[in-house]
């Protein structure tokens, strides 16, 4: 990560119900998904100005993420994470990069585990 990306906006443990999965039951019933989003930015002017316009509005970000996740019918959580990252980079020009983590606590896998998940990191192409 470039050294000039010093600031982060963090959204942790967002919880949604979605229908992502390869199995018919996952598509039909859906399940819980947990997301973390980290926006990587150059030094944000809002640290001095105290102006919302000079940072990333995480309320707006949440309002964009929620319908995307809840209406998703992808097979893979990798696709879901990539779609969230692409959307956020398009909508928030102050973000130079974004890291998206998707956790699937009730993945249809035999055994005991906290979750199955994916984490992706995308950078803005300039």
Catalytic residue from among 3, 66, 79, 104: 104
Alpha carbons 113 and 87: distance in angstroms, whole number: 30
The question of whether 104 is a catalytic residue gets the answer: yes
Q: Which residues pair with 33 in a beta bridge?
A: 16
DSSP state of 74: -
% helix / strand / coil in the chain, to the nearest 5? 35, 35, 35
Query: Beta 31-41 vs 7-18: how paired, if at all?
Result: antiparallel
Q: Is the CA virtual torsion 123, 67, 80, 103 positive or negative? A: positive
- Just list the catalytic residues: 104
């Amino acid at each position: 990560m470039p050294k000039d990306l010093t600031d982060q906006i963090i959204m942790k443990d967002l919880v949604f119900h979605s229908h992502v999965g390869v199995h018919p039951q996952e598509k039909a019933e859906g399940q819980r998904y947990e997301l973390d989003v980290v926006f990587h930015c150059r030094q944000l002017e809002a640290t001095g100005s105290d102006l919302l316009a000079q940072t990333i509005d995480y309320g707006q970000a949440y309002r964009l993420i929620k319908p995307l996740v809840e209406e998703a019918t992808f097979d893979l959580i990798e696709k879901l994470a990539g779609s969230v990252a692409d959307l956020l980079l398009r909508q928030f020009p102050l973000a130079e990069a974004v890291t998206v983590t998707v956790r699937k606590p009730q993945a249809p896998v035999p055994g005991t585990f906290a979750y199955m998940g994916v984490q992706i990191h995308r950078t803005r192409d300039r």
